[in-house]
Amino acid sequence: MAFTLAEIAARFGGRVVGEPQVLIRQVGTLERAGEGQIAFLANPRYRAQLAATRAAAVIIAADAETLTARPCIVCDNPYAYFARVSQLFNPDAVAVPGVQPGAHVAAGAHIDALARVEAGATVEPGAVIGAGCWIGAGSFVGQGVALGEGCRLHPSVVVYAGCRIGARAILHSGAVIGADGFGIARDGERWVKVPQIGGVRIGDDVEIGANTTVDRGAIEDTVIEDGVKLDNQIQIGHNCRVGAHSAIAGCAGLAGSVSVGRRCTIGAGAIVLGHLSICDDAHVSADTVISRSIRKPGTYTGLFPFDDHRSWARNTALLRHLAELADRVRRLEQQLSQKDPPHG
């Protein structure tokens, strides 16, 4: 598979600078790309590598156009453009339809003729597997689960009973969808389990990383909307809602009943405490603990050493007013300097 720069630009847009008939067969990095490979520059810190690259062509923004003599495609968002070009040269594998020997498909399950179920996988009664789905070896699809067209469950994915997954979802190995949420009520010295009778609803074009868990709702469903991207080892608690096209990095956690808006990002290791809301277009930095709702778009960051809770809460309250206190001190110093000018 090979395309000229002109053919790539005709497909994805952008402006070709230099020889448009340069032939591209694969993507590469600025540092290591060679003949037939196209690289990209999205971060200014790699401009030195751009000057030295041996790539056949480069994807760049307009402000970097004069920094290389290599043929290039100039576009507004080089990284997103590179992603599309990489998809062009590295398309997803297509499922070879059929139920392999060693798979267990219960009576009453519906497997589309264009779906694939690998050996060791289990599909329980009432499950509906759409066209083009690919159920990997050792995966489990519970009773009454529905998978939209083109879903990919990599080996050893578990989808509990009653969950709904939209079209073209990708679930990586070890993902667990629909396990019980952490619903327990204290009764004296003991805990009483609260039955988790909701489900999980996942939209179209969602990707869920390895060993990530999405708990079922206590009464109503946990909801992951269209286009959400979840990294590895994330915990999504019961009755959470993650808005469309949001992305959450590895080892982050949402406690129960958190609502995350659309187009949000949550950095690696961040924690959102239960029953809080995050508005659309909010961005939470890595390792930040969100302890109150976010109501305005923007970027939020916070690291603070642990302490006994009472001291921590008092110190945190003071920190919130630190800028105000600094302004007051500055004003007082100015007033004192005016009343008592320095002696020469």
CATH number at residue 14: 3.40.1390.10
Last residue of a domain, one of 89, 109, 136: 89
| Same structural domain, 52 and 149 | no
Give yes or no for a contact between 178 and 200, defined as CB atoms under 8 angstroms apart. Answer: yes
| Same structural domain, 69 and 103 | no
Question: What is residue 113's predicted lDDT score, i.e. its pLDDT?
Answer: 97
The CATH number of the domain where 173 resides is what? Answer: 2.160.10.10
| Same structural domain, 176 and 204 | yes
Active-site positions? 238
Question: What is residue 306's predicted lDDT score, i.e. its pLDDT?
Answer: 63
Question: What is residue 342's predicted lDDT score, i.e. its pLDDT?
Answer: 60
C-alpha torsion angle, residues 168, 172, 174, 177 (rounded to 10): -30
| Same structural domain, 163 and 30 | no
Give yes or no for a contact between 252 and 240, defined as CB atoms under 8 angstroms apart. Answer: no
The reply to whether 84 falls in a domain is yes
Question: What is residue 118's predicted lDDT score, i.e. its pLDDT?
Answer: 98
**Cα distances (Å, whole numbers) of residue 5 to 10, 58, 142:** 9, 10, 47
| Same structural domain, 272 and 315 | no
The reply to whether 220 falls in a domain is yes
The reply to whether 333 falls in a domain is yes
- Domain extent, residue 198, equals 98-300
Beta carbons within 8 Å of 59's beta carbon, 6+ residues apart: 14, 38, 39, 40, 41, 72, 73, 75, 78, 81, 82, 85
The reply to whether 344 falls in a domain is no
Q: Residues of the chain whose pLDDT is less than 50? A: none
Question: What is residue 305's predicted lDDT score, i.e. its pLDDT?
Answer: 65
Residue 318 buriedness (CB in 10 A; 0-12 / 13-18 / 19+): exposed
Last residue of a domain, one of 89, 119, 141: 89
The reply to whether 149 falls in a domain is yes
> What length does the chain have?
344
Q: Are strands 207-208 and 170-171 parallel, antiparallel or unpaired?
A: parallel
Structure tokens at 42: 């999205």
Radius of gyration of the chain (CA): 26
Q: Are strands 37-40 and 57-60 parallel, antiparallel or unpaired?
A: parallel
**Cα distances (Å, whole numbers) of residue 250 to 6, 61, 91, 243, 267:** 38, 29, 25, 18, 8
| Same structural domain, 236 and 267 | yes
| Same structural domain, 193 and 329 | no
Q: How many CA atoms lie within 13 A of 69 on its CB side?
A: 1
| Same structural domain, 17 and 154 | no
| Same structural domain, 104 and 242 | yes
How many domains does the chain divide into?
Answer: 3
Q: How far is CA 331 from the centre of its chain?
A: 46
Q: How many CA atoms lie within 13 A of 78 on its CB side?
A: 22
Question: What is residue 319's predicted lDDT score, i.e. its pLDDT?
Answer: 81
Backbone φ and ψ for 191, nearest 5 degrees, come out as: -110, 140
Give yes or no for a contact between 209 and 234, defined as CB atoms under 8 angstroms apart. Answer: yes
| Same structural domain, 119 and 9 | no
Last residue of a domain, one of 89, 109, 124: 89
| Same structural domain, 135 and 278 | yes
| Same structural domain, 248 and 165 | yes
